[in-house]
Amino acid sequence: MPQTASSNLTPAQIQDLQESFNTFDRNNDGTISRRELHSLLHTVGHKVNAQGLENLLTKYDTDKSGTIDFKEFLSLTALLIKNKVSSN
């Protein structure tokens, strides 16, 4: 498996995440918009306000496109999984 930012995820997890990504990419344009991201975070139980959402976008939208692509989504999800684990 190639070394990437998401190398701590197993191929099975990445496949699951691809399915999640597709689910949240409601208009199937290959990216998750601000609105789609907000809905995603709510679904996984992370309640963020507008500022929190903005902070996440600023941090993870590494190419500054204003949306989250799958690679950026993996970095974000790795953090969410980590937070979930450490909060248990």
Nearest distance from residue 32's CB to Ca ion, in Å? Answer: 6
Residue 68: other Cβ atoms inside 10 A: 27
Q: Is residue 29 part of the contact set for Ca ion (CB under 5 A)?
A: yes
Candidates 26-34, 44-52, 68-76, 77-85; binding stretch for Ca ion (CB under 5 A)? 26-34
C-alpha distance from residue 51 to each of 31, 34, 83, 84 (Å): 21, 12, 19, 21
Choice from 25, 37, 72, 73 touching Ca ion (CB under 5 A)? 25
CA distance 6 to 27: 25
Q: Is residue 22 part of the contact set for Ca ion (CB under 5 A)?
A: no
